[in-house]
A and B are shown apart, each in its own frame.
Chain A
Amino acid sequence: MKMLDYPPSHLEIVDNFLNGRFILHSDKLFDEIKENEGFYKSFLEASFGYKLNLTQEFAYVTSNESNENLSRDISVFFAILCYELDKNGKNFLEELNYGTFRYSQIDELFENSSYQELIATNNKLKDSNARKNLFNEMSRRNIIEKENDDSFTVTSAYKVFIEFASELAKSKISNGSIQEPGGSN
C-alpha cells in the first residue's frame, strides 16, 4: 500500500500551526510551507477550516475563532512599547527589528508610561510578573524570542500588529475621523 506523499516535516508544521505559532523565515519548516503553499492552503482549509497566512517573513493560521483577549493584550503591549520608545527618542521600528529588550527596561518604560491607567487595569500588563506571563505566551507563539533570563528579541511576527496600527490610522484618516491638522497645503 502506498501512502500519500506529505512534506517531510508535515506533522511538525501542522502541530505548530494548530498551537497558534508563527513559523518564521529562519525556521527550516518555513521553506517547506513555502514550497507546498497550495497544499497547505487547501489542507488547512479542508481539515480544520483554517486560513493560511503566508508572508515573506512568516506563516501562521487564523480561523473565525480568534483569541481576542490575547491579541488585544499583545496589541496594547506593542502600542505602549512603540509610543514610549518614540517618546524616548528611539526609532522604534529599528528597535523592534534589531534591538534586544531587557525585562527591566520594559518595566521601566511601562512604569513611567503616561498610559498608567490602562496598564494598571490590564491583567497581562499591570506589573512585572503579569508581563512575564504575557511574554511566555508570546514566546510560545514565536512573537518574541527569549535570549536568556534577562532579555528577549522581537521576531518579525510583530509586523502583524504594526500593520494593524498602520491600517487603523489610514482608515481613520481616510474617513475623516482623524482631522488632518493644518490642512494639506
Chain B
Amino acid sequence: MRAEPKTILRFLLENFEALRDLFEIQSADGIVKKEILKTICEKYDSNIQYQLLDYKILHAINDDFEFHSVYLNLIEFVVSEFRPLLPETIEKYNTSISQLYQRIIEGIDGDKAILKVRVAELANEIRSFFELVERNTISLLKETRNIKANVDKIDYREKIIRASRWIDEYIVPLNRILDVNHSESVANRLYNIAQFVNSKRLSFSDEQLRLQFEQLYHLIISINDGLLRQSKTLTTELLPLIDRIRTESLILTGWIEFLDKPEKYDTPAILKPVKDFAYSENVYLNTKEFFEQFSKEEVVYLEEEETEKEKWIFNKRYYKNKLKENLPVDDFFGWCAETLAKEYKTIEVEKFFQIISLLFEQDLDPQVVETAYLIQIKTDKTTIRIPKITVNENA
C-alpha cells in the first residue's frame, strides 16, 4: 500500500542529512553504490533503506541505487545545488514549444476543450524552459566563481581546459538559445508566440480561453524579461569572467614553463641600440662623413674671401616679374630657392631673405598649405624649415 504523502514528507524532513549526503554522492558519481548507502545509513545510525525504496525515493539498478528524478530535482532545488545542463538538453524545449504552438494555430477554430489543454501545456513548457535556463545560469556562475577562487585547487592548465569547456560547450550555445535576434532561437520563438497570443487574448470568442491567452501572454512577457536578464548575465558577467580566467591561466602556464628553463626559449626581440666604438670598422667612414659636412662649408667660405663680391642689390621688379610669369606657384619658398640656385649656384641666406619679401606684395595672394609638412631649404649658412606656401595673383 502506498504511503501517506505526509508520511513521506515527514520522512524526508527527519532524514534530510542522510538524503543530502546520498544526493551529493549521486551528483558526483552518477549512482549510489550499495556499500556507500550502507555506510551513510550507519553514519546516521538509521536503517532507512527499506523506506527509501518503498517511498520510491531511490530505485535499484542491479545491486546499486539511483534517485528517482522527482526527488533528485526536489533536493537539487531545495539545496540550490544545480548542475549545469548541456544546452542540448534545454534546446529540446524549442521542439516541444514549437509543436504545441503549431497545433494551437491549426486547431484554433476546433475543439475548445483540447485547445484549452494545449494552451495550458504550452504555458507549462515555457515555464519549465525558463526554470532550466535560470538554473543553468546560476550553476554556471557558481562553477565559474569556483574556478576563479580555485576551490578545487586545480592547476593553471586544468583551469584553461575547464574555462574553455564552459565557454564552448555551455555558455556560447546557451546564449544562442537566448538570442532573440537569431531566427531559430527559443527566445525568438517566444517572441512570435507572444504576438500571436496577444491578438487572441483581445479577440478570442470563448471567454475562458481569452482569459487563458491573457495569462499566457503575461507569462511570456515576464519570461522574456527574465531571459533578457539571463542573457545579459551571460554576456556581461560570465563570459568576460571565464574568458579572463582562461587568458590568465594560459599566460601563467607559459610563464611557469619559461621559468623552469629561462635559457631555453627565445624571448621577445628587443632592439640593441647600435653604438660605434673607437675601434669599430664604421668609425672611419662615419667620421669622414661628419667632417665632410664642414669642409664643404669651408670651401664656400674661402671662395667668398677670395672674390670680393659686390654688394648685392635686390632687384625687386625683376624678381616680381619672374614670379608673376610663374604664377600660380605652389611652393613659394621652393621657388625662391630654385631661382637663386639657378642664377648663383648657391643659395645665400641674405639673398634668400630679400627675395622672400615678395610675399608682402599687395598684388600677390599667399596661402599657407596647412596639411603639408615643413619644407627644408638649405642655404650656404643654415638649413631653414618653413611651411609650404602657395602664391596666386591677387584678383
Residues of A within 8 A of B (CB): 1-3, 5-8, 17-20, 50, 60-63, 65-68, 70-72, 74-76, 78-80, 82-83, 86, 91-93, 115, 118, 141, 160-170, 172-173, 178-182, 184
Contact = CB atoms under 8 A, between A and B. Distances in A.
Given A3-B377, A66-B270, 16 more contacts: A1-B337, A5-B375, A19-B273, A67-B270, A76-B258, A82-B255, A118-B262, A166-B250, A167-B254, A169-B250, A169-B257, A172-B254, A173-B157, A178-B253, A181-B161, A184-B161
Contacts of A83: 252, 255-256, 259
Contact of B271 (A6, A67, A166, A170): A67
A99 to B, nearest CB: 14
Contacts of A141: 270
B204 to A, nearest CB: 50
Interface in B352-395: 372-378
Nearest to B378: A1
A162 B270 contact: no
A62 B270 contact: yes
15 contacts: A2-B338, A3-B377, A17-B271, A18-B271, A63-B269, A71-B269, A141-B270, A165-B252, A165-B258, A167-B254, A168-B254, A169-B253, A169-B254, A170-B254, A179-B157
Contact of B268 (A8, A93, A160, A173): A160
Nearest to B272: A67
A55 to B, nearest CB: 13
Contacts of B270: 20, 60, 62, 66-67, 70-71, 74, 141, 160
Contact of A168 (B160, B247, B257): B257
B262 to A, nearest CB: 6
Interface string B66-102: 0000000000000000000000000000000000000
Contacts, number: 151
A75 B391 CA distance: 57
Given A75-B262, A86-B248, A182-B158, A2 B337 contact: yes
Given A19-B273, A71-B267, A80 B250 contact: no
Contact of A93 (B165, B248, B377): B248
Given A93-B248, A169-B251, A115 B259 contact: yes
Nearest to A94: B244
A50 B251 contact: no
B161 A5 contact: no
Given A2-B331, A93-B248, A182-B158, A168 B272 contact: no
A44 to B, nearest CB: 11
Given A19-B273, A79-B255, A164-B254, A7 B338 contact: no
Contacts of B331: 2
Contacts of B3: none
B341 interface: yes
Contacts of A17: 271
A168 B158 contact: no
Contacts of A78: 255
B262 A178 contact: no
Nearest to B335: A2
Contacts of A71: 267-270
Given A8-B374, A168-B257, A181-B161, A92 B248 contact: yes
Top 8 closest pairs, chain A to chain B, by CB:
A165-B254, A169-B254, A20-B271, A3-B376, A79-B255, A66-B269, A168-B254, A169-B253
Contacts of B273: 18-20
Nearest to A68: B267
B226 interface: no
A178 B255 CA distance: 13
A173 B158 CA distance: 11
B274 interface: yes
B328 interface: no
Contact of B267 (A5, A20, A75, A86): A75
Interface in B233-263: 244, 247-248, 250-259, 262-263
A116 to B, nearest CB: 12
A153 to B, nearest CB: 19
A62 B377 contact: no
